[in-house]
A and B are shown apart, each in its own frame.
Chain A
Amino acid sequence: MNSSLAQAVLAGDRLALARLLSRVENDTAEGRAALDELFPLTGRAHLIGVTGAPGTGKSSLVNQLAVFFRQQGQKVAIIAVDPSSPFTGGAVLGDRVRMKDLQGDAGVFIRSMASRGSLGGLATATAQMAQVFDAAGFEIVIIETVGAGQSEVDIARLAHTTLVVEAPGLGDDIQAIKAGILEIADILVINKADRPGVESTERALKSMLELAHPVQRIFLHHGQMMTLAGEEPTAGLWIPPICKTVAPDGSGLPELVQAIEKHADYLRQSGDWIRRDRARLEAEFDLLLQETLVAQFRAHLTESRLQSAIASIHSRQASPREVLAKLLEEMPR
């Protein structure tokens, strides 16, 4: 089936692209069909994740990065995720405020996205929206997460290169040795590097890197980060560099872009690019499998049967596992 929306996107129609992104975000049948059609064209873009605590300057940095990639003639898409209210489901998406330098440039497409209840720092459909941009020919896709705390690490599963943005004065060396967000960094960025305290932040991050055992961060499967001990003499392991930037005036940006390009080269040479791609698709397939099986199961289960099953668990007549085994036996084959 040929979707006209997908064809229009491939022809460069920006309104069609915007509409397809909405269909994909809302998980409509039309969006799914177009994604299926576009899928063979994906896998070409460099996905760059930008994460970090609120107020570290992620949006301003993304703005400058995009300006830089544009000067190199690459087409840049930006997906900026901000949180949805847990109470009303509404959201104020304000990342565009910092991205004014990119307006009026047909080689840039910025899309704001609400997290819609998803907790890992991205929205459920962020990966699919990145696929749309990838298929549409954007060479660079920058994904900015919600202001992240310590465990919003989904971005590492999605992006090829993950930037973790810090700012001076946010924490001491104990914060730096905790697990979580710093661990997923391929590149550490100290933004607002013209502020006092930049030396101690740098020192804390450096000591964190020195304490770390070199691990190969690739296999991300079943929500876990599986690590392989570093015993690859040929490729060598990637040690995250620390880049200092001042986003508003662009200082440190050339070095940061260089580090991003170096990381892409490293991924390609070491084979991690392919491994990460495979791991990501496997995780995506896994999720789809779970959703589909659950939906099929529920489709065959009447509400009354479900309620009687729950009642027998509630009255402690049978354990949840026993009840489930029984329900599965009752399923038509």
Chain B
Amino acid sequence: MTERKIRVLVAKPGLDGHDRGAKVVARALRDAGMEVIYTGLRQTPEMIAEAALQEDVDAVGLSILSGAHMALVPRVLELLKANGQQGVKVFLGGIIPDEDLPRLKEIGVTGVYGPGASTDDIVADIRASIPLVA
């Protein structure tokens, strides 16, 4: 039997065009043995939820540098839930002010990472959040 792989969707919702962070994370997850589905720039929450469904991912990583996270992230979580994917863990990276953290955790974001975060921590957090047996 093939070993079960952790599948992660890495997406950039919203309009900012800075995808370097998302690419660094995608690469780090790849090097940690995960299968990363990379969707590129300017994704709507609808596009992200649809891709998460078709790809049957365990986790979604969102990169947002535009400041629109309090609008985009709740919408993604809502859509995942509507699709029956409430078990999918959502991680967020980018420029996220500290005062937004409690609210983001409250609506179900598993981890938030700002500038300088270590990719090792991101990998460890994703691993810890996903049960090994499907």
A contacts, CB < 8 Å to B: 14-15, 18-19, 21-22, 25-28, 84-85, 88-94, 96-97, 100, 103-104, 109-112, 114, 116, 124-125
Q: Which of B2, B32, B83 contacts A15 (CB 8 A)?
A: B83
CB distance from A104 to the nearest CB of B (A): 6
Q: Mark B35-72, 1 if CB is under 8 A from A, else 0.
A: 11111100000110011011110000000000000000
Query: Is B51 touching A96 in the complex (CB atoms < 8 A)?
Result: yes
B75 within 8 A of A: no
**24 A-B contacts, Cβ less than 8 Å apart?**
A14-B53, A15-B83, A21-B56, A22-B7, A26-B1, A26-B5, A27-B2, A28-B134, A85-B31, A88-B33, A90-B30, A90-B31, A90-B34, A91-B35, A92-B26, A93-B35, A93-B36, A96-B39, A97-B38, A97-B39, A100-B47, A103-B50, A114-B35, A116-B2
Given A85-B30, A88-B32, A124-B2 in contact, is the A93-B37 Cβ separation under 8 Å? yes
Q: Mark B64-105, 1 if CB is under 8 A from A, else 0.
A: 000000000000000000011100000000000000000000
Query: Is B33 touching A111 in the complex (CB atoms < 8 A)?
Result: no
What residues of A have a CB within 8 angstroms of the CB of B3 in the complex?
Answer: 89
Complex alpha-carbon distance, A27 and B50, angstroms: 24
Complex alpha-carbon distance, A110 and B4, angstroms: 20
Query: Is B38 touching A94 in the complex (CB atoms < 8 A)?
Result: yes
B18 within 8 A of A: no
Q: Which of A22, A88, A93, A103 contacts B31 (CB 8 A)?
A: A88
Query: Is A112 touching B53 in the complex (CB atoms < 8 A)?
Result: no
CB distance from A316 to the nearest CB of B (A): 36
Complex alpha-carbon distance, A112 and B26, angstroms: 15
What residues of B have a CB within 8 angstroms of the CB of A25 in the complex?
Answer: 2
What residues of A have a CB within 8 angstroms of the CB of B26 in the complex?
Answer: 92
Complex alpha-carbon distance, A164 and B40, angstroms: 26
Query: Is B33 touching A89 in the complex (CB atoms < 8 A)?
Result: yes
Query: Is A90 touching B47 in the complex (CB atoms < 8 A)?
Result: no
Chain B residue at minimal CB-CB distance from A13: B84
Query: Is A104 touching B55 in the complex (CB atoms < 8 A)?
Result: no
Which 8 A-B pairs have CB atoms at the shortest separation, nearest pair first? A90-B30, A97-B40, A18-B56, A90-B33, A22-B56, A94-B38, A88-B33, A89-B33
Complex alpha-carbon distance, A311 and B83, angstroms: 56
What residues of A have a CB within 8 angstroms of the CB of B5 in the complex?
Answer: 26, 89, 114, 116
What residues of B have a CB within 8 angstroms of the CB of A19 in the complex?
Answer: 56
B29 within 8 A of A: yes
What residues of A have a CB within 8 angstroms of the CB of B1 in the complex?
Answer: 26-28
Given A22-B134, A85-B31 in contact, is the A90-B36 Cβ separation under 8 Å? yes
Complex alpha-carbon distance, A100 and B40, angstroms: 10
Query: Is A26 touching B2 in the complex (CB atoms < 8 A)?
Result: yes
CB distance from A216 to the nearest CB of B (A): 36
B127 within 8 A of A: no
Chain A residue at minimal CB-CB distance from B47: A103
Query: Is A18 touching B53 in the complex (CB atoms < 8 A)?
Result: yes
Q: Which of A21, A92, A100, A110 contacts B36 (CB 8 A)?
A: A92
What residues of A have a CB within 8 angstroms of the CB of B37 in the complex?
Answer: 93, 96, 112
Query: Is A91 touching B53 in the complex (CB atoms < 8 A)?
Result: no
What residues of B have a CB within 8 angstroms of the CB of A84 in the complex?
Answer: 35
A88-B30, A89-B5, A94-B40 known; 19 other A-B pairs, CB under 8 Å? Answer: A15-B84, A15-B85, A18-B54, A19-B56, A26-B5, A84-B35, A85-B30, A85-B31, A90-B29, A90-B31, A92-B27, A93-B36, A96-B39, A97-B38, A100-B47, A103-B47, A103-B50, A104-B46, A124-B2
What residues of B have a CB within 8 angstroms of the CB of A96 in the complex?
Answer: 37-40, 51
Complex alpha-carbon distance, A116 and B35, angstroms: 10
Chain A residue at minimal CB-CB distance from B83: A15
